Amino acid sequence: MSGYADLHTHTTASDGTQPPAENVRLAKEAGLAAIGITDHDTVAGIQEAVEEGEKLGIKVVPGVEISTVAGGQDIHVLGYGIDERDPVFLDRLRQLRDVRETRNEMMIARLNELGLAVTMEEVLAGVSKTRPDETIGRPHIAQALIAKGYVSSMEEAFERYLGKTGVAYVNPPRIHPSEAIRWIHEAGGTAVLAHPGLYHDDPLVDELIGEGLDGIEAYHSDHTPEDEAKYASLANRHGLLVTAGSDYHGERHGQVFHGPIGNRRIAEDVVEKLLERRREDRANHS
């Protein structure tokens, strides 16, 4: 009997609200066989999740969601099975976190110009970080805006200020998704394009397939049934892996953004394929 995997979840290592072990417990409750831990630009949550997975008999797929830019918008590339101790890869993630930190400072400066008195200290006050490489993101800034009474919901924070078309949105230069694919491959991982339905840029998807993309997250909490059918068939046509992810971030102000763990799931056979390159890599080194 084959079980199911939810391959895209966030923890307190980035902008999720639950610690890594809790995601694994929720995966068990949801009846899943496997769960991916894919925090933004960090692998800091993986070890805790792997340990909990061993206790509960849930397979934990080590992952990361890399922030890149193409065509002026954020594009997320998921990396699975990367060697999370590879020093070159870790240094590359550090560079991404530096850009992210600068971006956060720029957005706060922009909010201040707009008359919203919010500081980085206030953002950090609402966040519990336990490991050095954990990341801060826009949801944390949104939380501070709510706490200070400038907006009354996450939606309002993103719509008015922090989202793509918000007045405080800043997007400094970042790596191109093709670069993320290369980094993931060099770290023994498998590269999957996250939520392509959100980009409205199918020429980019084709371009990335040409750049060695290994899979497409056809099933995602924010995809329409049409998106899901389209990207699953595109992946199949090119012989790419098809993945599914809830993009779980926990609950903020009573709302689950994206979806609960298990909201999107795929037969767990894909997990082995996502980890194949890592195995080959290890075999080559021994």
Q: List interacting residues with Fe ion (CB under 5 A).
A: 65, 76, 194, 247
Question: Does residue 257 interact with ligand AMP by CB under 6 A?
Answer: yes
Residue 15 vs 84, nearer CB to Fe ion: 15
Contact set for ligand AMP, span 134-163 (CB under 6 A): 137-139, 154-155, 158, 163
* Of 9, 18, 23, 67, the one binding ligand AMP by CB under 6 A: 67
CB-based contacts of 47: which residues, under 8 Å, 6+ apart? 84
Nearer residue to Fe ion within complex by CB, 68 or 118: 68
CA distance linking residue 8 with residue 38, whole number of Å: 6
Alpha carbon distance 51, 45 (integer Å): 11
CB of 216 to ligand AMP, least distance (A): 18
Total residues contacting ligand AMP by CB under 6 A comes to 12
From ligand AMP, Fe ion, Zn ion, none, interface partner of 13 (C-beta below 5 to 8 A by class): none
* DSSP β-bridge partners for residue 36: 61
Strands across the sheet containing 34-37: 241-245, 215-220, 190-193, 73-80, 59-70, 34-37, 4-6, 266-267
Beta carbon nearer to ligand AMP, 22 or 281: 22
Which of 40, 174, 220, 223 lies at the binding interface for ligand AMP (CB under 6 A)? 40
Q: Is 8 in the site for ligand AMP (CB under 6 A)?
A: no
Residue 138 partner contact from Fe ion, ligand AMP, Zn ion, none using kind-dependent CB cut-offs of 5 to 8 Å? ligand AMP
Residues interacting with Zn ion, by CB under 5 A?
15
Burial of 162 (0-12, 13-18, 19+ CB in 10 A): buried
DSSP state of 198: G
Helices (H), 30-118: 46-56, 87-113
Contact of 82 with 61, CB cutoff 8 Å: no
String of DSSP letters for 100-149: HHHHHHHHHHHHHHTT----HHHHHHT----STT----HHHHHHHHHHTT
Site for ligand AMP in 237-256 (CB under 6 A): 249
Q: How far is CA 169 from CA 58, 67, 127, 161, 194, in A?
A: 38, 15, 21, 6, 21
Encoded tokens for 17: 């609200």
| Residue 245: CB minimum distance to Fe ion, A | 7
Nearer to ligand AMP (CB atom), residue 83 or residue 134? 134
- Kindly state the smallest distance separating residue 139's Cβ from ligand AMP, in Å: 5
**Binding flag, residue 220, ligand AMP (CB under 6 A):** no
Tokens of 176: 């191109």
> Taking the complex as a whole, how short is the minimal distance between the CB of residue 277 and ligand AMP, in angstroms?
25
Binding site for ligand AMP (CB under 6 A): 15, 40, 67, 137-139, 154-155, 158, 163, 249, 257
